[in-house]
Structures are given as structure tokens and as C-alpha cells.
């Protein structure tokens, strides 16, 4: 009889014991990469005259990185500037127009008195109109000369290769004296901010969203924890690996973090959800041990408290007082924002085990209100 009581106590204690939980932090492997990588070339073909930077140099946006030989283009600028500054032609046309106007005034009185033939009056008036048109043409030519000067200056400016970003020189491909046409001269990388690329299993699709915060821990020798934010979540899943990509933006104003490091990423919201889900189960781990009557009574109270505190999980079979030792079948009711990964992590299961219990595919979509069997197979 005593042995039966002992068996019953063991059964009741094992009946309420929670499954082992995963680690506190849900970490994922990531890779720190430059925010942008640019290969800088020349807009026009030519021979490189100078390269002002080398590998490892920091550069600013619009800084001159290299120049092409531009002797002919600079001479064209000087010629265009001279034409744009010429004033002699305009002054001559202005004098001619003023003379034509004075002549017209002198002959106007004679023509009004019928002392000047119509033919001569017509000639005088026509000369004034032609002088006016000549002045207009001279002014237009000066404007064209100014535009030609601007064009020549832009041609010379294209011989200066400038940096499109603030960053660092990663690689140098060409040197002075080499001909450049369609190949890059320098390779630049923008390292503030940085990108953190993470590959996640398809089971977490929908759990990670843009704007979510995360903590990034780089690998040695770099130490410390850094705050990042999710910027991009891939909408397409890789069918071969069953994964999808997530990109985080990591500020790096002091350039302390070098790109290319591996890192660990913890999504703060997922860690918070996992912690909150674990609390009700942790409360039931410290069940008091005493007499058979006290153990049975406290076990029943623990089950009632668990059922009232976490309505998401309900027991649908075998009474706790079943002396046969049969384990209760438990179900989890899916809540909004939960994924297979979080649910499996809560009950100490793998995603494959959870799917196998429910005859599901790991990529199958779950919906709020859906009930999932969470009793491991070996306890069936």
C-alpha cells in the first residue's frame, strides 16, 4: 500500500513538471557588412594624371579622388572665356545703332515737310532697324559664348573623379599613366551606418518585422553590445534552404566596428516574448514536497492557477489523479504574433517535433485561436 502511495506521489509530481526550456537569449548568427560598396570610375575615357588616395584612406563625399589628363580641355576653357569676355563687337554695334537713330531724327523733319523723297526716308529707317538687329545678334553671340564657357568648364570638371559617399578606400585598381575607359579606378565602402545580415528559418516568418530593435554582439577581438534596428525583411523564402534574410541597420559614427565580422544577434522583442511565455512554467517548477495529502492538494491548486493565469494552454484529457501514471495531453492556443519557433521554444520542443505532433509542415501558416498539441511524442 505504501509503495502505491509512493508511486502516486511520483506520478503527481511528474504530471506537473514542465518541459526543459531553451536558453534565455535567442541568438542568431549574423554578418556585419558595409552599408554600401561603390566602384568609382570615370565618366569619360582618358589617361589618369593623378590618384590622391590609396587603400585604407578615409574619404568625404565630393572629395577629388583622381584626375585625368586635361590639357586640351583646359585650353578650350581659356578660349571660351576669352570669347565670353569680348566687348568690342557689342560696343561697335551700339555705336552704329545710335548713329542710325540720330540720322533718323535729322531726316524726320525733312520728310514731314515733304522735302525728303520717300525712298531716302525708307533707307534711313531701314538702316536704323538693321543696326538694332546687329546689336541684338552681338548680345546673343555673347550669351552663346558664356554657355560655351560653361560647357568647357563642365568638360574639365568631368576629368576630376569625386567620391559619391563618405567612407573608406577598400581597393585601388589603376595608377597614374594608365588608360581608363569602362573599368573602375577605386573601390569605396560606406561604413556608417553598417548592415547586419541575418538568415532566419522559415518558421520565424512573420515574427521579425521592420523597425524591430535588436542587440548585436560582434565576435572577438571586438567586444561590447551594440543596438541595431531591422530595416528589411525578405518577402521571398529560399526554397532550397527553407530560410529568409533579414537586414539590420547598425550605427557606426566613430568607425569602431570594422565590416566583415561575424556576430550574434538577439531580437529584443522575441526575447521579451520568450521570457513572458516562460514565466508561468517557471512558477510550477518549485512544487513543495510533503505528505501524500499535501502534495496532491498543492498539485491540484497549481494546476488551477496555471489554467487561470495562462488560458492559452488547456488540458483536454486524463485526470491528474489517474494512478496509472498516464501523462495529460496538453494543447496550446495560438495567440496573435506567435510563431512555431516561439511556441516550440516555450515548451522545450524543436520545431520539427512540434510539427510532427500536429501533422504539420514547418512552413505551414498558423492562425490565432488554432490549438496545437504540445505533449512530446515520448510522453504520449
Residue with cell 489554467: 307
Whole-number Å distance between alpha carbons of 380 and 375: 7
Q: How far apart are CA 235 and CA 193, in angstroms?
A: 23
- My answer on whether 41 and 9 are in the same domain is no
**47: in domain:** yes
Same domain, 328 and 285: yes
Residue 87 near residue 173 (C-beta atoms within 8 A)? no
Domain interval for residue 135: 73-157
User: For 278-307, what is each residue's pLDDT tens digit?
Assistant: 666 555 555 444 443 444 444 445 444 444
Other beta carbons within 10 Å of 163: 19
Q: How many Cβ atoms are within 10 Å of 45's Cβ, its own excluded?
A: 10
Both 295 and 367 in a single domain?
yes
Question: What residue ranges in 2-155 does DSSP mark as E strands?
Answer: 27-40, 46-51, 58-59, 64-68
* pLDDT at residue number 80: 95
Q: Are residues 229 and 255 in the same domain?
A: yes
Does pLDDT of 94 surpass 90? yes
For β-strands 64-68 and 167-172, DSSP reports them as: unpaired
Q: Do 290 and 374 sit in the same domain of this protein?
A: yes
- pTM of the shown model: 0.64
Taking only the tens place, the pLDDT of each residue in 323-371 is 444 556 788 888 877 888 888 888 888 888 888 888 888 777 788 888 8
Domain end position, chosen among 267, 287, 305: 267
The verdict on 194 and 66 lying in the same domain is: no
Angle made by CA atoms 289, 18, 355, in degrees to the nearest 5: 160
Residue 301 located in a structural domain: yes
Establish if 185 belongs to a structural domain. no
Number of domains in the chain: 4
The C-alpha atoms of residue 253 and residue 13 are separated, in whole angstroms, by 55
129 and 256 in a common domain: no
Plot region of 89 (φ>0 → left; ψ -120 to 50 → alpha; else → beta): alpha
Amino acid at each position: 500500500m505504501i509503495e502505491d502511495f509512493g508511486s502516486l506521489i511520483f506520478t503527481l509530481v511528474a504530471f506537473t513538471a514542465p518541459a526543459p526550456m531553451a536558453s534565455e537569449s535567442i541568438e542568431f548568427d549574423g554578418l556585419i557588412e558595409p552599408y554600401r560598396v561603390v566602384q568609382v570610375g570615370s565618366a569619360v575615357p582618358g589617361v589618369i594624371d593623378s590618384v590622391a588616395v590609396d587603400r585604407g584612406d578615409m574619404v568625404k563625399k565630393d572629395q577629388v579622388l583622381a584626375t585625368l589628363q586635361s590639357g586640351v580641355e583646359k585650353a578650350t576653357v581659356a578660349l571660351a572665356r576669352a570669347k565670353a569676355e569680348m566687348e568690342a563687337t557689342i560696343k561697335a554695334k551700339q555705336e552704329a545703332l545710335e548713329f542710325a537713330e540720330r540720322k533718323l531724327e535729322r531726316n524726320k523733319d525733312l520728310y514731314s515737310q515733304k522735302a525728303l523723297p520717300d525712298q531716302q526716308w525708307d533707307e534711313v529707317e531701314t538702316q536704323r532697324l538693321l543696326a538694332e538687329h546687329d546689336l541684338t545678334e552681338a548680345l546673343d553671340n555673347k550669351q552663346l559664348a558664356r554657355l560655351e564657357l560653361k560647357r568647357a568648364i563642365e568638360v574639365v570638371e568631368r576629368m576630376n573623379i569625386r567620391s559619391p559617399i563618405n567612407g573608406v578606400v577598400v581597393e585601388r585598381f589603376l595608377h597614374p599613366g594608365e588608360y581608363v575607359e569602362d573599368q573602375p579606378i577605386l573601390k569605396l565602402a560606406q561604413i556608417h551606418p553598417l548592415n547586419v545580415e541575418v538568415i532566419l528559418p522559415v518558421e520565424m516568418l512573420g515574427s521579425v518585422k521592420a523597425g524591430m530593435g535588436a542587440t548585436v554582439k560582434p565576435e572577438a577581438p571586438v567586444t561590447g553590445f551594440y543596438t541595431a534596428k531591422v530595416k528589411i525583411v525578405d518577402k521571398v523564402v529560399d526554397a532550397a534552404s527553407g530560410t529568409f534574410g533579414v537586414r539590420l541597420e547598425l550605427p557606426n559614427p566613430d568607425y569602431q566596428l570594422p565590416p566583415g565580422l561575424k556576430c550574434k544577434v538577439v531580437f529584443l522583442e522575441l526575447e521579451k516574448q520568450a521570457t513572458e511565455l516562460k514565466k508561468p512554467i517557471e512558477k510550477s517548477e518549485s512544487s513543495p514536497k510533503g505528505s501524500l495529502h499535501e502534495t496532491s492538494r498543492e498539485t491540484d491548486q497549481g494546476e488551477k492557477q496555471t489554467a487561470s493565469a495562462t488560458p492559452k494552454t488547456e488540458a483536454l484529457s486524463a485526470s491528474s489523479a489517474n494512478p496509472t501514471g498516464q501523462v495529460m495531453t496538453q494543447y496550446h492556443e495560438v495567440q496573435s504574433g506567435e510563431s512555431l519557433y516561439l511556441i516550440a521554444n516555450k515548451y522545450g520542443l524543436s520545431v520539427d517535433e512540434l510539427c510532427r505532433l500536429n501533422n504539420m509542415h514547418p512552413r505551414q501558416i498558423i492562425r490565432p485561436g488554432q490549438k496545437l498539441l504540445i505533449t512530446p511524442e515520448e510522453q504520449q
